[in-house]
């Protein structure tokens, strides 16, 4: 029996200029298309459903599009994104097969945005590849990554200070993939960073060396009066001997944790937040790639 096939239109404000139409297929065979645009990024998804129900079809279409956009944030390194706007109702593309169905008219929508970068097809292809890999994981690990991506997306939609908190939550959420409890934040951080490839950690350090230097000078003190900044400095000083960039990333992440504590509990360390935002985003991206 032929299944209902729907099209759900959407638009989202990112930083992409689409010079031509871009189409990609996701893990379940659904097709997502971005239309050529110089302003807002408009597109649509074409997908099939098991039941003929516009309401359920819209919910499923929204879920698929947002899941793809969340992964696109990783492959394209998006720093800002607005909530996606969806058409009021999906369009049924094969109505002749379901003539008894009362059709719902899809209302148009408008939005404004500023686009400052050219979209690259490989970002979409890479996002599609990540989607396939994630759906090969267990249901519990899929749910963990979905939660992390949810908070990562919230951060991309937020202002700088809120973004920092959301991204830390996104980072911590990934610990669920490791399937074990942690008695302290330090153990959680170290276990997550151990999941990184050393090459990934090296790239993180090289791209964020300026922030790392600031964290070394920030005199960040953790529990039991441990000087996290000094521990980071020691890890950097041994790089020439051991090349252990994961150790540097561990100490960097623990410094960021102390920045989080200072900001939340005392309103301090605000000058470090923007740099921490960038590093956290790149760390989450690297972890998701290496964990799956």
Judgement on whether residues 253 and 221 belong to the same structural domain of the protein = yes
- Determine, yes or no, domain membership for 105: yes
Weakest mean pLDDT among 19-33, 106-120, 130-144, 255-269? 106-120
Instruction: Calculate the average pLDDT of the chain.
Output: 88
Residues 165 and 267 in one domain: yes
CA atoms within 13 A on the CB side of 268: 11
Please check whether residues 247 and 151 belong to one and the same domain: yes
CA atoms lying within 13 Å on the CB side of residue 98: 20
| 98 shares a domain with 189 | no
Tell whether 201 and 83 lie within a shared domain: no
In a domain, 229, yes or no: yes
Note whether 99 and 238 are same-domain residues. Answer: no
Q: Find the domain containing 281 and state its range.
A: 139-291
Residue at which a domain ends, from 129, 158, 177: 129
CA-wise closest residue to 80 among 111, 116, 109, 44: 116
Q: Would you state the pLDDT for residue 15? A: 61
Give the residue from 129, 158, 179 where a domain finishes: 129
Query: Is the domain of 261 the same as that of 146?
Result: yes
CA distance 247 to 20: 44
Query: CA–CA separation, 38 vs 118, rounded Å?
Result: 10
122 and 11 share one domain: yes
Instruction: Report d(CA 196, CA 218) in Å as an integer.
Output: 26
159 and 99 in a common domain: no
Is 69 domain-assigned? Answer: yes
**Highest mean pLDDT pick, 15-19, 20-24, 51-55, 193-197:** 193-197
Confidence of residue 282 (pLDDT cuts 50, 70, 90): very high
Q: Which residue among 100, 129, 158 closes a domain?
A: 129
The per-residue DSSP string of 252-284 comes to HHHHHHHHHHHHHHHS--GGGHHHHHHHHHHHH
**Residues 185, 230: contact at Cβ < 8 Å?**
no
pTM for the complete prediction? 0.76
Give dist(CA 110, CA 46) in Å, integer: 21
**DSSP string computed for 65-107:** HHHHHHHHHHHHT----PPPEE-SSPEES-GGGGTTSPP-PPP
Q: Which two tokens stand for residue 249?
A: 């990333």
Q: Count the domains in the chain.
A: 2
Q: Of 263, 255, 261, nearest to 279 (Cα)?
A: 255
Domain-located, residue 148: yes
Which strand (E) or helix (H) includes residue 231? helix 228-237
Say whether both 258 and 150 belong to one domain.
Answer: yes
Say if 180 falls within a structural domain.
yes
User: Is 33 a member of any domain?
Assistant: yes
Do 242 and 144 lie in a common domain?
A: yes
Q: Is position 16 within any domain?
A: yes
Q: Are residues 113 and 143 in the same domain?
A: no
Ranking 53-62, 74-83, 86-95, 188-197 by mean pLDDT, the lowest is: 74-83
Residue 134 lies in a domain: no
Stretch among 18-27, 170-179, 252-261, 273-282 having the lowest mean pLDDT: 18-27
**Containing H/E element for 60?**
helix 54-76
């Amino acid at each position: 029996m032929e299944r209902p096939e729907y099209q759900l239109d959407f638009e989202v404000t990112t930083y992409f200029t689409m010079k031509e139409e871009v189409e990609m297929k996701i893990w379940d065979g659904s097709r997502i298309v971005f239309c050529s645009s110089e302003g807002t990024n408009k597109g649509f998804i074409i997908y099939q459903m098991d039941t003929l129900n516009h309401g359920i079809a819209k919910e499923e279409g929204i879920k698929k599009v947002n899941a793809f956009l969340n992964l696109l944030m990783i492959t394209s390194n998006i720093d800002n994104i607005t909530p996606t706007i969806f058409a009021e109702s999906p369009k049924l593309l094969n109505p002749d097969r379901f003539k008894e169905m009362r059709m719902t008219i899809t209302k148009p929508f408008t939005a404004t945005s500023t686009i400052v970068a050219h979209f690259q097809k490989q970002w979409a292809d890479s996002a599609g590849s990540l989607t396939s890999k994630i759906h090969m994981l267990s249901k519990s690990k899929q749910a963990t990554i979905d939660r992390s991506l949810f908070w990562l997306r919230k951060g991309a939609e937020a202002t700088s200070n809120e973004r920092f908190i959301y991204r830390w939550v996104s980072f911590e959420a990934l610990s669920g993939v490791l399937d074990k409890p942690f008695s302290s934040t330090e153990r959680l951080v170290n276990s997550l960073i151990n999941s990184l490839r050393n090459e990934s950690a090296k790239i993180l350090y090289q791209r964020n060396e300026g922030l790392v230097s600031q964290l070394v000078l920030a005199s960040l003190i953790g529990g039991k009066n441990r000087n996290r900044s000094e521990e980071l400095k020691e890890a950097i000083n041994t790089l020439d001997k051991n090349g252990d960039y994961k150790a540097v990333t561990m100490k960097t992440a623990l410094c960021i944790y102390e920045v989080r504590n200072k900001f939340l509990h005392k309103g301090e360390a605000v000058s470090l937040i923007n740099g921490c935002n960038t590093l956290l985003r790149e760390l989450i991206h690297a972890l998701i790639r290496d964990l799956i």
